[in-house]
Structure 1
């Protein structure tokens, strides 16, 4: 309608049209061309990007289109903005991705560049870059939980330096009793947990990150409960081990507690039956 005259009583929220003529949509758009606008409304609902593009004439909505009409860059920018305000928890963080992130964090803390900063703040700040390959899928409704952060982190590894990843910050290490044990990189220092009996004869405590950081060993009793913490095995065998032995050999008589652990055979098992 093209309204020529209206009437509204004082303090009233309502008005009455006194004179108006109908307008076609074409005429209305031509007359109000200065009021034409396109607005993008988007939100993350249950981990999925849901966006609507609305074309309006002033306050009158004319048309809307769903998220699939978003361009890759638009989808990437919208999700990056969401991550900056809400954090990275909705993304596809598996155990392997979290482990790699902790190792990369340790490398960045030890060496700086070119090892990237993978803190929440840094990843959120650069999300528009590493999310770019996912733009089309996000625009099509792929959940954030399917964004593989393992693939993202691998893409951030610097080359050729990344060829030394397993040397500088290994995921696991061999132990004297055979096999390997995982290293926990989540704290201030790398930690490897094993039973006291599995460490017999081990004197050279590994140093990681090109020798800059000693590996902290969490030694446990046969039940897996903490017995000692050390980053100097030679000193541990020479002193604190005696106290550990005195406290635990009566509780676990089926397991070896030699007086000379430096020359004892490391083992994953209890004593052999005689």
Structure 2
């Protein structure tokens, strides 16, 4: 105090009472980077103007203040501990830092609402003084933010159904066998799809702002867009989704395994010696022959060999279980069928 009086005398300053209410603003002018705003719903937790976090003990008298200025704090990496601080009023910040306050429009992904949030904010460096929701959203920025949300959430948020999964498996199969077919196809791995969302998904999510809106996404069409017209035609030719069998049935091909496969009732394949194939005849299908109950009785990629060497054993085992179904002695000359025997046959 004696030093204070000596300084007052030297500078010819008249002693007067100190206005403690101005302490916060004085600190703010001295240390603007230490102005802190209380984090929402967190007593004693503050975000400083320099972007760092800071904390006061919850029982501290300033822990619930909306704004403080830290006079003394440690160098904590994630969150600095505040030892000495003073409150400051927002109106004072508005007045004395008017030239530093900027108005910013932000369109960002918000994990809390699982959607895009568009706001107009008044900012003092890292601190948001006030914000209002934007009603007119710039489409390009919304799509960009929405795709970023999908990227963060992962491809699992997309409405995968069997048609979309099957299409992706067909494209990936042709990517693996491009050396055999001579036609290059993209590899639709999770990593590549997430990296290229702007290219293949963006046109299909226009108008969407929340993850729940993805329910109306035509994912199959979006995946198809990864191929040009020539490759779309090649896809149908080299990796069809279904294939015809001797009865005329169209059976779906499963491209999800190491090799594409076909599950079909044995009786529908009578008379067929050549194993069905894809990739322009370069890859034989793995044929899973089913009993009348739909259970596998044989798996083969050599139908001719099955009829010649294994059918007789299968017939002996199955004929007793399914006497109303056809088990001819010569399957290569028998009529393929989807039906059981009529009564009296």
Sort the TM-score into its range (normalised by shorter chain). 0.7 to 0.9
- Of structures 1 and 2, the larger Rg is shown by 2
**1:15 is matched with which residue?**
86
In the TM superposition, 1:78-93 aligns within 5 A as 78-93=145-160
Correspondent of 1:253 among 323, 328, 331: 323
Provide closer, same or farther for how the CA distance between residues 51 and 39 of structure 1 changes in structure 2, counting only shifts above 3 A: closer
Correspondent of 1:127 among 183, 197, 219: 197
In the TM superposition, 1:102-113 aligns within 5 A as 102-111=169-178
In the TM superposition, 1:86-165 aligns within 5 A as 86-111=153-178, 114-134=184-204, 136-139=206-209, 143-165=213-235
**Residue 79 of structure 1: how far off its partner (Å):** 3.3
Q: Residue 219 of structure 1 aligns to a residue in which SS?
A: strand
- Count how many residue pairs are aligned between Structure 1 and Structure 2: 269
Residues 171-212 of structure 1 deviation map (CA, whole Å, 9 limit, x = unaligned): 111111222111111111111111111111111112211122
Q: In structure 1, how many angstroms separate the alpha carbons of the residues matched to 2:225 and 2:237?
A: 19
- Identify unmatched segments of 5+ residues in structure 2: 1-21, 29-68, 73-81
Q: In structure 2, how many angstroms separate the alpha carbons of the residues matched to 1:243 and 1:143?
A: 55
**2:60 is matched with which residue?**
none
**Residue 16 of structure 1: how far off its partner (Å):** 6.4
Correspondent of 1:201 among 265, 271, 292: 271
Provide closer, same or farther for how the CA distance between residues 162 and 58 of structure 1 changes in structure 2, counting only shifts above 3 A: closer
Q: Residue 208 of structure 2 aligns to a residue in which SS?
A: helix
**Residue 27 of structure 1: how far off its partner (Å):** 5.9
TM-score relative to the length of structure 1:
0.83
Correspondent of 2:98 among 29, 33, 42: 29
More relative contact order in 1 or in 2 (CA 8 Å, sep 6+)? 1
Q: Is the 8 A contact 1:68 1:140 kept in 2?
A: no
Q: Residue 54 of structure 1 aligns to a residue in which SS?
A: strand
Provide closer, same or farther for how the CA distance between residues 24 and 180 of structure 1 changes in structure 2, counting only shifts above 3 A: closer
Give the stretch that moved more between structures: 183-192 or 105-114: 105-114
**2:251 is matched with which residue?**
181
Q: In structure 2, how many angstroms separate the alpha carbons of the residues matched to 1:118 and 1:68?
A: 36
- Identify unmatched segments of 5+ residues in structure 1: none
**Residue 250 of structure 1: how far off its partner (Å):** 0.7
Q: Is the 8 A contact 2:204 2:217 kept in 1?
A: yes
